[in-house]
């Protein structure tokens, strides 16, 4: 509806200029999507705000605007309603032409962004030798969706994995590695550390118990920071092993990331401190170098510092993020990414951290005017009991196990359904459908919640064929593919009509829904809330199902059949594109 809205908006502004020319009259008289179907397609509420300025009753202003409006080619005569709303209902033949124009178009009416921005999306970002947990899963799924959507809009997106691959924990890990597999460091022996998480736990246990080991670990940190080859080799080995486990999850989720871990910024850390010093922001407090934050006070009412260099000279998480943001915002001449927008997808618990990092970046003069720095927070993943998600034994849930279980359950549901329907299928089919549905269910359950709230993880709910779930959406898509197979004509061809004819209310509401796709994409681009796209696709599936349950399509009368087939085809294309932007693969049968 974007194009129509723009066209109407233009005419409305023209009419308004005649009724009340500036400076008294408004510069814009905004048009918005109608809040309810009975109000038509669009609504203009500007008359109310103007009543005071012009000293005329709002209804009179609205009527005067309508009298000056030339929109017969697009709408039914606009209606003045209530205290002074103007309601617009688009003509069916105009909707039909829009549907026609959109059919088979790869962008389905969504314009390319102007100007194209350079966007960094920082997401997933698990930590080496630690478990990639459900929080990282949320970040991975939400971040991937945002990156897909922004790329689709035409922005140049850099998907960065800010891997936790540096820090004092490596001292302990390397010391432990030297004990259990000394020969692996010289390259004489190839070790597979297998479960690195268990390895981390053993190292940690020793660290906590044994003072000698602690001493040794600290020595290893110093050696690593000094770049000693053997230490670097050990570090590389640990990273490689972790990376393999992470990559398996990314492959399964169909997520692409560019790895740029914390270690990447090591060489930039001293420059950050120097920069802050030069900007006059650095204060030495109790031996630590820090920046005092504006407008942020601790419990004691004292301004809070952001520590950038500890008393012992070491740097921390915040310093690395400062180096990262500086590098991302710097232009290519300064060895940077030249980002116009940087989005960080992490749990809401890191909100203060990012607010501090953004503030310091602004005050240090690293952020060019107009650039957008965003923390994209999300809530906790909880079990159905409302508590933190845990396994039955109380351990943290491993991602791999979680995905396996979703797929296993999807498989069980499928096999059961096929037995009921007396369908036979090859093993390959069951395999593929179960994997697709299981992964889709996990992703959709996450994306369909407003990300800022906590969400309750329930296999039963997310895998249900009923309700706002991935299986429900995929099933609507499969239905459309079924029509395509039976009709054989959905892919265009002879039955492609010269003019579509929208008449039945179900046809009209499906057409309207389909045409709203572009507006939804633009909204998500702004507020980075994938749940809006989910809600749209769920609504579209429902509208489509109603249409298909209530009207014959393949057996429709000749006058309606081409239009209905075209609506089915555009529904399939819109569902396919929309699910693709969510990072969800579709199926032709299930």
Using CB under 6 A, list all residues that contact ligand ARG. Answer: 122, 125-127, 162, 164, 321, 324, 344, 346
- Cβ pair 265, 320 in contact under 8 A: yes
Task: Find the shortest distance in angstroms from Cβ 221 to ligand ARG.
Answer: 19
Contacts for 410 with CB less than 8 Å, ≥ 6 apart: 433, 434, 435, 437, 438, 441, 463, 471
Backbone angles phi, psi at 291, to 5 degrees: -115, 130
Considering the complex, state which of residue 162 and residue 398 has its C-beta at the smaller distance from ligand ARG.
Answer: 162
324 vs 371, beta carbon nearer ligand ARG: 324
Joined together, the tokens standing for residue 32 give: 């918005």
CA distances from 114 to 155, 234, 522 (A): 9, 47, 12
**CB of 416 vs ligand ARG, minimal distance in Å:** 38
CA dist., res. 50 & res. 363, Å (int): 40
Nearer to ligand ARG, 265 or 517 (CB): 265
Nearer to ligand ARG, 122 or 340 (CB): 122
Judged by CB, which is closer to ligand ARG: 76, or 201? 201
Q: How far is the CB of 529 from ligand ARG (least distance, A)?
A: 20
Cα separation, 306 vs 288, in Å, equals: 10
Choice between 31 and 356, CB closer to ligand ARG? 356
Distance CA 305, CA 307 (A): 6
| Cross-strand pairs, 80 | 86
Those residues whose C-beta lies under 8 Å from the C-beta of residue 183, and which sit 6 or more positions away, are 189
Rounded to whole angstroms, the Cα distance separating 568 from 581 reads: 20
Euclidean distance between CA atoms 332 and 158, whole angstroms: 14
Distance of CA 390 to the CA centre of its chain: 25
What order do you get walking across the sheet with 156-161 strand by strand?
258-259, 156-161, 118-122, 341-347, 372-378
Using CA atoms, how far residue 507 sits from 9, 57, 460, 463, 497, in Å, is 26, 39, 34, 30, 16
Classify strands 42-44 and 118-122 as parallel, antiparallel or unpaired.
unpaired
User: Is the Cβ of residue 161 or residue 449 nearer to ligand ARG in the bound state?
Assistant: 161
Q: Which is nearer to ligand ARG, 373 or 478 (CB)?
A: 373
Tokens linked to 175:
């010391």
Alpha-carbon distance of 296 to 279, in angstroms, equals 20
Burial class (CB in 10 A: 0-12, 13-18, 19+), 99: buried
CB of 224 or CB of 376, closer to ligand ARG: 376
Residue nearest to ligand ARG (CB): 125
CA 484 to chain centre: 31
Cβ-based nearer residue to ligand ARG, 29 or 344: 344
């Amino acid at each position: 509806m974007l194009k129509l809205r723009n066209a109407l908006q233009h005419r409305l502004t023209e009419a308004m200029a005649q009724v009340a020319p500036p400076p008294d009259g408004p510069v814009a008289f905004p048009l918005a999507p109608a809040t309810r179907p009975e109000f038509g397609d669009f609504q203009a509420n500007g008359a109310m705000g103007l009543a005071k300025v012009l000293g005329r009753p709002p209804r009179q202003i609205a009527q005067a605007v309508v009298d000056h409006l030339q929109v017969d080619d697009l709408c039914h005569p606009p209606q003045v309603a209530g205290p002074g709303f103007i309601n617009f209902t688009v003509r069916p033949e105009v909707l039909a032409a829009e549907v026609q124009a959109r059919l088979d178009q790869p962008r389905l009416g969504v314009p390319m962004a102007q100007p194209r921005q350079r966007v960094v999306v920082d997401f997933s970002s698990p930590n080496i030798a630690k478990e990639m947990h459900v929080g990282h899963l949320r970040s991975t799924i939400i971040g991937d969706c945002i990156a897909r959507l922004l790329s689709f809009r035409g922005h140049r997106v850099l998907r960065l994995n800010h891997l936790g691959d540096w820090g004092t924990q490596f001292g302990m890990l390397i010391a432990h590695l030297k004990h259990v597999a000394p020969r692996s460091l010289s390259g004489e022996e190839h070790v597979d550390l297998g479960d690195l998480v268990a390895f981390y736990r053993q190292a940690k246990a020793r660290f906590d118990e044994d003072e000698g080991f602690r001493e040794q670990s600290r020595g290893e940190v110093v050696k690593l920071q000094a770049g000693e080859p053997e230490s670097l080799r050990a570090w590389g080995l640990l990273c490689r092993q972790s990376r393999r486990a992470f990559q398996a999850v990314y492959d399964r989720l169909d997520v692409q990331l560019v790895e740029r871990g914390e270690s990447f910024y090591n060489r930039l850390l001293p420059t950050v401190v120097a920069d802050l010093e030069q900007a006059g922001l650095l204060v030495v407090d109790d031996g630590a170098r820090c920046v005092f934050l504006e407008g942020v006070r601790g419990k004691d009412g004292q301004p809070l510092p952001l520590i950038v260099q500890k008393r012992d000279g070491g740097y921390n998480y915040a310093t690395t993020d400062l180096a990262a943001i500086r590098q991302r915002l710097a232009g290519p001449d300064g060895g940077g990414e030249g980002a116009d927008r940087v989005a960080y997808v992490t749990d809401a618990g890191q909100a203060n951290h990012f607010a501090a990092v953004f503030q310091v970046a602004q005050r240090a003069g690293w952020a060019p005017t107009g650039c957008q720095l965003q923390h994209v927070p999300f809530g906790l993943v909880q079990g159905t009991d409302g508590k933190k998600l845990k396994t039955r034994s109380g351990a943290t849930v491993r991602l791999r196990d979680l995905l396996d279980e979703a797929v296993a359950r999807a498989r069980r549901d499928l096999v059961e359904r096929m037995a009921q329907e007396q369908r036979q299928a090859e093993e390959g089919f069951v395999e593929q459908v179960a994997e697709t549905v299981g992964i889709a269910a996990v992703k959709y359950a996450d994306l369909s919640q407003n990300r800022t709230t906590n969400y309750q993880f329930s296999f039963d709910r997310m895998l249900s064929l009923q309700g706002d779930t991935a299986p429900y959406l995929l099933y609507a898509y499969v239905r459309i593919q079924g029509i395509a197979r039976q009709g054989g004509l959905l892919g265009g061809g002879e039955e492609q009509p010269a003019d579509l004819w929208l008449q039945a209310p179900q046809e009209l509401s499906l057409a309207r829904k389909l045409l709203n796709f572009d507006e939804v994409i633009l909204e998500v681009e702004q507020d980075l809330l994938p749940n809006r796209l989910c809600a749209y696709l769920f609504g579209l599936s429902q509208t489509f199902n109603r249409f298909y349950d209530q009207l014959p399509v393949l057996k429709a009368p000749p006058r309606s059949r081409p239009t209905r087939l075209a609506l089915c085809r555009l529904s399939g294309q819109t569902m396919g594109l929309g699910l693709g932007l969510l990072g969800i693969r579709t199926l032709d049968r299930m």
